[in-house]
Every structure is written in C-alpha cells, then in structure tokens.
C-alpha cells in the first residue's frame, strides 16, 4: 500500500528537473546567438557606408527666386506699396441717446432659426460693426478699438489705399468717424510702435456708402493703386484682400468672389426710407478680419474691384463671408468728395415707397410686371409739382422699364440735381407720363420730416462741440455762484477729459469761461457757437475765472488745436 506513495515524488522531481534543464538550454542558445551577432557586426562602420557608390544620385538644385514667383506675388508687389495702416485716437465722450439710430443686424436673421435673444443679436452684430463697431463700447464692438483703461484716449486701427500720388487715401467712414486724431503709416515706414504715423485730415465722407477720403502731406509722389471696373468682376474670379488684420500690417489673403450685389436686410428708417439703399456689396471668401476694414480687394489684373467693409460672423473673426463696396461706387463717391463742396449729392424726385411687396399687391395696383408703388410724396419735391400722387405706380424712367425700388433709386440718385426726367406711371390702371425735376435727396427727405442722419449729426455736433474738440463739458453758472462772484454770463466747466486739449490748456473742473478768442461767452448758446467754429490748427485762448481761488482776476489759458 505504501509503494505508490514512494513512486509519486520521484516522478515530480524528474519533471521539475526536466523543465529546469530545458530553461538552461534555451538561455544558453539565446546567449550564443547574441554573442554571434555581436561578432558578425563588429567590423561594420560608417566609413564603409560613406564609401558606397552614389554616382547615380542627383543633387538637389535650389531654383532662382524668379522661378518661385506666381501671379499672386506679382500682384502684391504691385499693389502692396499703396496700402496703408490707419490709426485713430478718440477722446472719450459722454454717451447721449440719439433718436433714429439704427441697430445693426445680420443679413439673415439670428443665424440659427430660433427665437433669437440679446446674446444672439450681440454675436451677429459684427456684420455692421464693420470691424470698428462705430466707436461704441470699451475696446470697440468690432475688436479694433483699444481703451487705455483709465478713461483716456481710445485707439483703433484700420486700412486704406492711396489713389492719388499727392496723398489722397480712400478708406471706410467708420474707420475715421468721430476720430480726434488720424495717423497713416505707409508700407515703407519703419515698424515702430511708438510712432503713430503721419497725421491725416478728412477731406469728405459719405455715410450712405461708408466711404471716406483722407489726405496726408506728400513731399514726394506716393505709390498708388489702379481702380478697376467692378461690373466686370464675375462670381468665381480670384481676388486678394490686403490690409492690417489684428494690427498685422501687410497681410494678404486670397479667395474668390462668392456673390455680387449683396444687400443687408435691415428695417427701414424714419419715413420708411431704407438706410442702406446705396449699399450693394461684393461678397468674398477671402479671409477678412478686424483691421482689414478699408483695405482693397484686388483682382488678378492688379486692379481694385472693391473695398473691404463688413464681415458676417458669429464669433468676431473671419467666417469666410466678407463684403466689399464695389469699385464703381467708390469711384463715383470719391469724385464728389474731392470736389469743391467735399460732399456727395444724390438726386431725388421726392417720394417714398415700400421696399418689398407681395405679388398680390403688384397685381392689384397694376405693377405685376415691375414698377414701384408710391407711398408718399414730398409737398416741395419734384414729384408733387409734376402731379404724382400716392398709390401711383412708377413703371418707367425716360422710356426704360423700372424693375423695382432699387432700380429706381440707383437711376434717380445718379442724376444731376436740377435735371429733368420723364416718369411713366399707372393711375387706376391707366398709363400716363410726366416730366419731373430732380432735386437734392438730402433736402427732399428733410421736407418729408425725415432729415437724413447727416443733419442729425450736425445738430448733435453743435451741442457736443466742446466735448469733441476741447474735451470739456460746460453748463450755465449757478445763480448763487454768479451773484457771489458778481459774474454776469459765462459757463462753468463741469468735466475735463484726461489727456484732452482742455486739460493740456490748463482748464479745470469749476473754472468759469467768460471769453474765447476775444469773443464774450454770455451763455451756453454763445459758447457752442464759438466752439463750433473752431478748426484744427486754430489758436484757442480762454479767459477764465476761478471761483475757488482768492484771486478773482481773469486768467488767460490757451493752446493750438491738434
């Protein structure tokens, strides 16, 4: 019974012994292999590799610089020297609510098909923030503005292009709008952050098309761009955008023309008059970002076919949808702005109309094949004098059929004030015609009780001239203080903006201004009238009294307006 017990351990011992033996044999074999490999490779060296035959290898040849050039680079060399950086500085101004100001919207609603809240509106508002944001808010709405954080000067950046060797530059109106100082840097100027550039002055602006002309002194002829014919530009054509996005000067991006004649769906302004009647954009997918505003959009012939003006974005940066004002519009506006009056005059016959209408309305009033239904008639306008009435349907101009309101506006606005035009119209289904004298659009809409924004701006400029030019605000001298000082007339300074002309001249809060440039300041109206007449480079001398000091004699403070 004990025999099996004695045999079992023996078998286990032999099995264990066999496995150990196999393990040692395997280890020995691997060691021998490693040793053999080392011996075999011991004699191999880099020298033998270098001695290999390479007579069949072809050396790399670096081509000449000219061989690397392409169409894009040649265009940039041609146009780039005429593209400039535009820096502006604006003194902080007290915000004053203004009636009739438009709230920009994106061209296709809120972008997501939803109800759309304030956040969505803010995100899409950059479509007509146009990179600058119209000088609104800290740092600007469009990302190009910069505040010093202490209520000082606000700085902003844009682009432009030289069209006349004598220093005339085209840019966007929103780039220079309400700027107290404008500086231009040429492509050849040194990259010096402490140097703002060459001072520039505004020659004229047109808010309807967001175009401005500025000028710098040019002792020598400056490089210029060539203006092309934007009507010849086709969807799918290659274009280059040149400018200073995010302060990165001399930046070039490429794309194609994505669409033409783009408009912005915005509600009409006062009197049902569209505020964007003259804005018909070229759309491009060339990358355009804050700072590109005012820069040229160039075709493959090296000619400017548009000026980069707006972007469609949900995040403040490029989304591949940019908009440029066509060159043909730019040329027409420029020629008027450099004229003796430095302003754009557009024709009008003195009517308003509904921009969009259903086909049912057109059929009912007889304009099913096109035409414009008259909404109202200015009593002093040419249409009223010629006998046109509300509900008439204008169907032709000088025998040419009118398609819609845009067609009518483009035709009439381009005509010379005082010229005559033959208007064909339908009344109660019967066709008639009459001759209408073209009037000044600005005056016509003023007669309709819908003064253009320019006129509102003039009134506003008069009321805050002290803020924009001097950097101060004033009010009437309190009666008790006037009686205490024996002071008749004058205005008291209520606020002085840091870094402004008023502060540099020595004006302080509480100072009483009794005279400016030898003209007595009797009240706020006389103060505004005097200040509104001041111009850049004028010497300005204030006669002031300090109600807090012991010395009540007149003090004379002054300086030269920048």
Pick from 81, 85, 84, 86: nearest CA to 302: 81
Q: Contact at 8 Å (CB) between 196 and 107? A: no
Strands 303-311 and 226-227, by their bridges, are parallel
| DSSP 3-state of 83 | strand
CB atoms closer than 10 angstroms to residue 178: 15
Cα 291 off chain centre by? 8
Q: Contact at 8 Å (CB) between 511 and 493? A: yes
The reply to whether 210 belongs to the active site is yes
Strands 351-353 and 472-476, by their bridges, are unpaired
The reply to whether 174 belongs to the active site is yes
Strand segments (E) across 217-265: 226-227, 238-243, 251-262
Strand segments (E) across 144-230: 146-147, 154-164, 168-172, 181-185, 198-206, 211-216, 226-227
Strands 168-172 and 512-516, by their bridges, are unpaired
Distance CA 276, CA 413 (A): 13
| DSSP 3-state of 478 | coil
Mind giving me the DSSP string for 270-298?
GGG--TTTT--EEEE-S---TT-TT-EEE
Distance CA 410, CA 408 (A): 6
Residue with structure tokens 């201004």?
513
End-to-end CA distance of the chain: 124
**Which among 90, 159, 174, 318 is annotated as catalytic?**
174
Q: Contact at 8 Å (CB) between 326 and 230? A: yes
Q: Contact at 8 Å (CB) between 527 and 515? A: no
- Helix, strand, coil abundance in the chain, percent, nearest 5: 30, 30, 45
Distance CA 179, CA 154 (A): 9
Distance CA 206, CA 214 (A): 12
Two structure tokens written together for 3: 């025999």
Distance CA 175, CA 210 (A): 9
| DSSP 3-state of 227 | strand
Instruction: Please report which helix (H) or strand (E) contains residue 298, including its range.
Output: strand 296-299
Distance CA 215, CA 209 (A): 19
Q: Contact at 8 Å (CB) between 344 and 416? A: no
| DSSP 3-state of 268 | coil
Residue with structure tokens 């432009």?
160
**Which among 159, 249, 293, 500 is annotated as catalytic?**
293
* Residues designated catalytic: 174, 210, 293
């Amino acid at each position: 019974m004990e025999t099996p017990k004695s045999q079992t351990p023996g078998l286990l011992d032999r099995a264990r012994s066999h496995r150990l033996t196999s393990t040692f044999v395997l280890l020995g074999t691997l060691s021998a292999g490693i040793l053999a490999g080392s011996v075999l490779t011991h004699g191999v060296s880099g020298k033998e590799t270098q001695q290999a035959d390479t007579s069949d290898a072809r050396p790399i040849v670096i081509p000449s610089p000219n061989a690397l050039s392409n169409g894009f680079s040649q265009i940039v060399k041609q146009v780039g020297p005429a593209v400039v950086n535009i820096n502006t500085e604006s003194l902080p101004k007290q915000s004053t609510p203004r009636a009739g100001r438009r709230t920009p919207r994106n061209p296709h609603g809120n972008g997501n098909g939803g109800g759309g809240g304030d956040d969505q509106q803010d995100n899409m508002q950059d479509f007509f923030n146009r990179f600058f944001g119209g000088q609104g808010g800290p740092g600007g709405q469009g990302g190009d503005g910069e505040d010093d954080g202490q209520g000082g000067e606000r700085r902003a950046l844009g682009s432009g292009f030289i069209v006349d060797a004598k220093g005339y530059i085209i840019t966007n109106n929103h780039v220079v709008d309400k700027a107290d100082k404008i500086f231009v840097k040429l492509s050849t100027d040194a990259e010096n952050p402490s140097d703002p550039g060459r001072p520039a002055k505004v020659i004229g602006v047109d808010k309807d098309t967001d175009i401005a002309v500025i000028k710098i002194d040019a002792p020598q002829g400056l490089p210029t761009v060539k203006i092309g014919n934007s009507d010849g530009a086709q969807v799918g054509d290659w274009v280059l955008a040149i400018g200073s996005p995010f302060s990165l000067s001399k930046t070039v991006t490429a794309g194609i023309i994505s669409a033409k004649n783009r408009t912005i769906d915005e509600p009409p302004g006062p009197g049902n008059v569209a505020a964007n009647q003259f804005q018909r954009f070229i759309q491009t997918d060339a990358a355009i970002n804050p700072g590109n505003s005012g820069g040229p959009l160039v075709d493959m012939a090296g000619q400017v076919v548009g000026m980069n003006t707006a972007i469609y974005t949900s995040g403040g940066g490029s989304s591949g949808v940019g908009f440029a004002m066509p060159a043909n519009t730019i040329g027409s506006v420029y020629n008027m702005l450099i004229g003796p009056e430095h302003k754009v005059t557009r024709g009008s016959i003195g009517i308003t109309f509904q921009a969009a209408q259903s086909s049912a309305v057109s059929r009912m009033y007889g304009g099913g094949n096109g035409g414009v239904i008259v909404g109202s008639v200015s009593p002093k306008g040419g249409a009223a004098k010629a006998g046109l009435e509300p509900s008439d349907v204008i169907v032709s101009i000088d025998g040419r059929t009118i398609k819609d309101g845009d067609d009518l506006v483009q035709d009439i606005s381009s005509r010379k004030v005082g010229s005559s035009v033959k208007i064909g119209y339908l009344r109660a289904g019967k066709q008639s015609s009459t001759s209408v004298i073209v009037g000044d659009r600005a005056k016509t809409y003023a007669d309709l009780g819908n003064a253009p924004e320019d006129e509102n701006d003039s009134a506003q400029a008069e009321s805050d001239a002290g803020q924009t030019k001097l950097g101060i605000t004033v009010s009437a001298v309190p009666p008790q203080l006037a009686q205490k000082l024996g002071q008749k007339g004058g205005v008291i300074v209520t606020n002085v903006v840091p870094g402004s002309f008023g502060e540099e001249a020595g004006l302080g809060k509480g100072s009483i201004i009794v005279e400016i440039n030898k003209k007595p300041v009797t009240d706020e109206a006389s103060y505004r009238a005097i200040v509104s007449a001041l111009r850049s480079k004028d010497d300005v001398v204030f006669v002031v009294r300090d109600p807090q000091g012991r010395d009540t004699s007149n003090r004379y403070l002054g300086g030269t307006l920048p």
